[in-house]
Structure 1
């Protein structure tokens, strides 16, 4: 199945991908590239953190082969991980870089699933001297960014059937206990507390209500597009795997 893994820069996509590839997995594993190769590429031992995507590169594209264990089988998700600069959405950039823009659109057009990573907005970040709120956009800026993604999905992703919206860095959100959230939301083939609709309703009502009209607009698309909401963090494996398990459960295995 074809999926694009996407989001604005500095939302934590690199850290999420590296943590997903860690050998200590449950139901989701990265088959390629192997963890050692991905870590050598994405992690700086000197800085003790993942390396930032080179902002000078117009579009950064990597491929991930991911395997998801669902109740009746193992499914492979062939993923295009794409980083883009903010300028890519401006018509002036598109006119100046037509080949890059068309290549980006071609990947989007053939994808059946999307995993979009968005950051938390400033108003829900917990008060902590170690966290600089200026590193996060305001709620209004967050909504405007989301509007841009909605337009992209509606006009440039004709074959997308499932979108997993991931509010990342959930560990920084006020009032969040990752362990408790994982106990509520985690996937267990035989004994999950919630189904996918219930998980979505729970996360949507707590974290995505500022963009409820935009999500409703996407869900009403004639092509039966389904949008589900998730919270993710590199510090909790169960929450990290959930959006991939969702995509693996519902997307075709032969894409």
Structure 2
């Protein structure tokens, strides 16, 4: 049983996945199945590096290897790109086969890896905020994911939610890396403490919604992280967590 890798449109899923394949990491190694970086970039990226609009649900596979103290854990990942209209009833009705296939893949997964963008109010002052949605829009979009997790994800035991592009957030990124980084024999924080820290500092507007997901069924665990393609320690962290618990 594998993991599904999904997220909002133009949130950086492609760049995150490619960043994990391009450089040698400390604990995480990602391999594209039957594809290479050039193919992925040709299929999903424009020449200027921006994301091509996704009109249908598209899937490719990743193999993720995570080096843990007990050995190497291997995770099979279905990376799914979906249209921005995915949760509109009209789109689901017009693309009923695609929607049902998507639901089936998710329902059989052991974990969900969701990537979400930052919102305007937490960005650094010099960032062009017109390229980002407001906090209220962000909360509204997040609520659609919450409904999806509660109503359509009965199987996954772990849901990982990553606030991406942490390098754009108004914070001391080096301090956050130092605090949150994984060390196999003595990290500053355990997984629950990391989650609570990230929730209180970056997911506060949807804290009650996250509780709804956790309480929707017994045995489900939701954990939140911040990620950035420019900071490998943050990039690897959710995969290390996922491997640690899926191995149990």
**When the two structures are superposed, what TM-score results if normalisation uses the length of structure 1?**
0.91
Aligned equivalent of 1:197, options 192, 196, 201: 192
Instruction: Output the CA distance in 1 between the equivalents of 2:106 and 2:59.
Output: 12
Query: Does the 8 Å contact 1:60/1:84 carry over to 2?
Result: yes
Query: Does the 8 Å contact 1:119/1:168 carry over to 2?
Result: yes
2:215 aligned with 1:220: yes
Which residue matches 2:24?
24
Gap runs ≥5 in structure 1:
none
Instruction: Output the CA distance in 2 between the equivalents of 1:155 and 1:217.
Output: 12
2:154 aligned with 1:154: no
Which residue matches 2:40?
41
Instruction: Output the CA distance in 2 between the equivalents of 1:145 and 1:89.
Output: 10
- Specify the SS of the correspondent of 1:77: strand
Aligned equivalent of 2:243, options 244, 248, 251: 248
Instruction: Output the CA distance in 2 between the equivalents of 1:98 and 1:27.
Output: 40
2:142 aligned with 1:185: no
Which residue matches 1:4?
4
- Specify the SS of the correspondent of 1:87: coil
Instruction: Output the CA distance in 1 between the equivalents of 2:102 and 2:47.
Output: 33
CA deviation map 1:13-39 (0-9, x unaligned)? 1110000112321111013348x9224
- Specify the SS of the correspondent of 1:213: helix
Instruction: Output the CA distance in 1 between the equivalents of 2:36 and 2:109.
Output: 26
How does 1:96-245 map onto structure 2 within 5 Å? 96-128=94-126, 131-174=127-170, 176-245=171-240
- Specify the SS of the correspondent of 2:197: helix
Change (3 A) 1:100 1:40: closer
Query: Does the 8 Å contact 2:53/2:83 carry over to 1?
Result: no
Instruction: Output the CA distance in 1 between the equivalents of 2:204 and 2:64.
Output: 30
Query: Does the 8 Å contact 1:18/1:39 carry over to 2?
Result: no
Instruction: Output the CA distance in 2 between the equivalents of 1:250 and 1:19.
Output: 23
Aligned Cα RMSD in Å? 1.8
How does 1:88-99 map onto structure 2 within 5 Å? 88-99=86-97
Q: How many positions carry a matched residue from both structures?
A: 246
Aligned equivalent of 2:65, options 67, 80, 83: 67
CA deviation map 1:90-143 (0-9, x unaligned)? 112111111111111111110111111000001111111xx3211111001100
Query: Does the 8 Å contact 1:161/1:223 carry over to 2?
Result: no
Query: Does the 8 Å contact 2:162/2:224 carry over to 1?
Result: yes
CA deviation map 1:134-173 (0-9, x unaligned)? 1111001100111000111111111111111100001111
Which residue matches 1:13?
13
Change (3 A) 1:12 1:45: closer
Instruction: Output the CA distance in 1 between the equivalents of 2:231 and 2:149.
Output: 28
